[in-house]
Chain A
């Protein structure tokens, strides 16, 4: 009886569905690895002069190649373990080192981008003509593929003797300011007519209306757009690192991996970048929760 209840609890709780999805993804991934690497493995057997092989040998081979088309999950896990835990963080072979490079540019760019986004939104909400004159440029800026634009920004900034972390942060900011602007414009306009009329009856100034009504009303919108912005910021940094790869970072790891056909290294870097993005979003979500509680939104 209790076992049954335990089992049904497993499926109705959070843990069951999460585990089921993970298992399904890993299983699919293994199947894909076998399928994608089978050709390579057959020619490897041929080259080694081995004329016949069992299915078991073939499968085992596809999951243990040095440069597979699609590395198996355990290969990526081993690489992650090797480069995160077994390597000293100061070494250029350590993913922790590269995470540090990427994250510092991401955070700097995110700070710039969020600040710029909030500033633009404040201007747009208060100066009516700016919405028409500024918004088309802001939208146009996001229609250009960043992969095409990033190298040019890096080169132009290098010409101006701006090097190091700043060009990468600039591209991160370029990607992250947009969601913040859009979210904050909506947030600063979210107070209803009644709430605005109330301040009018006190003949409050525009500045007082901003600080006591528009800004606090926009906070939930701000955090929603910061979550999008911080992830975009990381993507921008990684793209910038493809151009400015000498400094390291996940982008540099991806580039080096593709030069040398080190697919396992590429996938390990992708997973590390995804993990960092999740951690950044979780940090923003935590800040959101703390602020919401202090503002009385938590019930």
Chain B
């Protein structure tokens, strides 16, 4: 397996619409190494979700090149190389939590025994033991999103693509889940690409922060952010943390300045 998980060069995506074309992505150059936690941050319309969807082969770039694990996103999707966490939990209401977490395993043809084992393991990973037989509506929003993370992890992909997974949650729940996600990342050594519009969240979680700007969606700046892997929420009070947060804020402002 190559050490560069995602390699994009001069990637562009244009949506054709009735009142003219919209350039969602323009000239994206980005390389993500194995084991990194990369956040894409930017205002709405900067193409951060679109970039994630291109990596996942949910959208197709109009020009430029991109590889995921050394192959095209399409092949990577067919190989089931990534787990995707959406903005909403997207749990199927007619399935129990165990049934939802086991859904990808069913699709991929794992045995019943193996499914049960993996579901139990991953529910434990997100602290949802004992909720196997509950239905989604019986869980809070934060718990539902944790279940959806367990679902993305259940088939043990090396790459985790997360699209504002905590965007709809309140600050306290979000802090807690951020800490859990960081520990999970440290534990499983996965590569994570994480879309967010929260500066503290990006700085707290990432090894690198990709600051994007809108119209056309492009990369404004890539800011390294190398706190130790076992960081805790306390680092948010340190001058180093605030300095990086300020750089990100500065970058976002510059990207926005022309309109």
Tell me the nearest residue of chain A to B82, going by C-beta: A201
Assess A198 versus B84: contact at CB under 8 Å? Given A212-B103, A299-B137: yes
Tell yes or no: A208 within 8 A of B by CB.
Answer: yes
CB-CB under 8 A from B15, the residues of chain A are: none
CA distance A118 to B90 in the complex (A): 26
Tell me the nearest residue of chain B to A208, going by C-beta: B107
Q: Which chain B residues numbered 77 to 127 have a C-beta less than 8 Å away from chain A?
A: 77-78, 80, 82-84, 86-88, 90, 92-96, 103-104, 106-108
Tell yes or no: A107 within 8 A of B by CB.
Answer: no
Q: How far is the CB of A89 from chain B (nearest CB, A)?
A: 42
CB-CB under 8 A from A200, the residues of chain B are: 57-58, 77
Chain B 181-207 interface mask (CB, 8 Å, partner A; 1/0): 000000000000000000000000000
Tell yes or no: A297 within 8 A of B by CB.
Answer: yes
Assess A203 versus B80: contact at CB under 8 Å? Given A194-B88, A197-B86, A296-B135: yes
Tell me the nearest residue of chain B to A201, going by C-beta: B84
- Chain B interface residue count, CB cutoff 8 Å, equals 26
CA distance A202 to B100 in the complex (A): 13
Tell yes or no: B245 within 8 A of A by CB.
Answer: no
Tell me the nearest residue of chain A to B152, going by C-beta: A201
Beta-carbon contact of A295 and B94 below 8 Å: yes
CB-CB under 8 A from A297, the residues of chain B are: 93-94
CA distance A115 to B92 in the complex (A): 26
Beta-carbon contact of B108 and A197 below 8 Å: no
CB-CB under 8 A from A204, the residues of chain B are: 107
Chain B 52-92 interface mask (CB, 8 Å, partner A; 1/0): 00001110000000000000000001101011101110101
Chain A 151-192 interface mask (CB, 8 Å, partner B; 1/0): 000000000000000000000000000000000000000000
Tell me the nearest residue of chain B to A205, going by C-beta: B107
Partner of A194, one of B56, B90, B106: B90
CA distance A212 to B58 in the complex (A): 20
CA distance A212 to B92 in the complex (A): 9
CA distance A296 to B93 in the complex (A): 7
Tell yes or no: A84 within 8 A of B by CB.
Answer: no
Tell yes or no: A199 within 8 A of B by CB.
Answer: yes
Chain A 270-299 interface mask (CB, 8 Å, partner B; 1/0): 000000000000000000000000011101
CA distance A200 to B73 in the complex (A): 12
CB-CB under 8 A from A212, the residues of chain B are: 92, 103, 106-107
CB-CB under 8 A from B80, the residues of chain A are: 202-203
Q: How far is the CB of B51 from chain A (nearest CB, A)?
A: 15
Tell yes or no: A258 within 8 A of B by CB.
Answer: no
Tell yes or no: A216 within 8 A of B by CB.
Answer: yes
CB-CB under 8 A from B136, the residues of chain A are: 296
Beta-carbon contact of A219 and B94 below 8 Å: yes
Q: How far is the CB of B139 from chain A (nearest CB, A)?
A: 12
Tell yes or no: A195 within 8 A of B by CB.
Answer: yes
Chain B at the A interface: SS class: loop
Tell me the nearest residue of chain A to B105, going by C-beta: A202
Q: Which chain A residues numbered 5 to 51 have a C-beta less than 8 Å away from chain B?
A: none
Partner of B107, one of A194, A195, A199: A199
Tell yes or no: A135 within 8 A of B by CB.
Answer: no
CA distance A216 to B93 in the complex (A): 9
Partner of A195, one of B56, B92, B104: B92
Q: Which chain A residues numbered 199 to 234 have a C-beta less than 8 Å away from chain B?
A: 199-204, 208, 212-213, 216-217, 219
Tell me the nearest residue of chain B to A194, going by C-beta: B90
Assess A296 versus B96: contact at CB under 8 Å? Given A195-B90, A200-B58: yes
Q: How far is the CB of A293 from chain B (nearest CB, A)?
A: 11
Beta-carbon contact of B77 and A201 below 8 Å: yes
CA distance A84 to B57 in the complex (A): 67
Beta-carbon contact of A194 and B108 below 8 Å: no
Tell me the nearest residue of chain B to A209, going by C-beta: B107
Q: How far is the CB of A208 from chain B (nearest CB, A)?
A: 5
CB-CB under 8 A from A295, the residues of chain B are: 93-94
CA distance A239 to B107 in the complex (A): 48
CA distance A194 to B106 in the complex (A): 19
Q: How far is the CB of B7 from chain A (nearest CB, A)?
A: 20
CB-CB under 8 A from A208, the residues of chain B are: 107
Given contacts A194-B88, A197-B84, A208-B107, 18 further A-B contacts (CB under 8 A): A194-B86, A194-B87, A197-B90, A198-B86, A200-B77, A201-B56, A201-B82, A201-B83, A202-B107, A203-B77, A212-B107, A216-B95, A217-B94, A219-B94, A295-B93, A296-B95, A296-B135, A296-B136
27 A/B residue pairs, CB under 8 Å, sorted by A: A194-B87, A194-B90, A197-B58, A198-B90, A200-B57, A200-B58, A200-B77, A201-B58, A201-B77, A201-B82, A201-B83, A201-B84, A202-B80, A202-B104, A202-B107, A202-B108, A203-B78, A203-B80, A208-B107, A216-B92, A216-B95, A217-B92, A217-B94, A219-B94, A296-B93, A296-B94, A296-B136
Binding site for A on B (CB under 8 A): 56-58, 77-78, 80, 82-84, 86-88, 90, 92-96, 103-104, 106-108, 135-137
Top 9 A-B residue pairs of the complex, sorted by shortest distance between their CB atoms: A296-B135, A295-B94, A201-B84, A202-B107, A194-B90, A204-B107, A216-B94, A202-B104, A203-B78
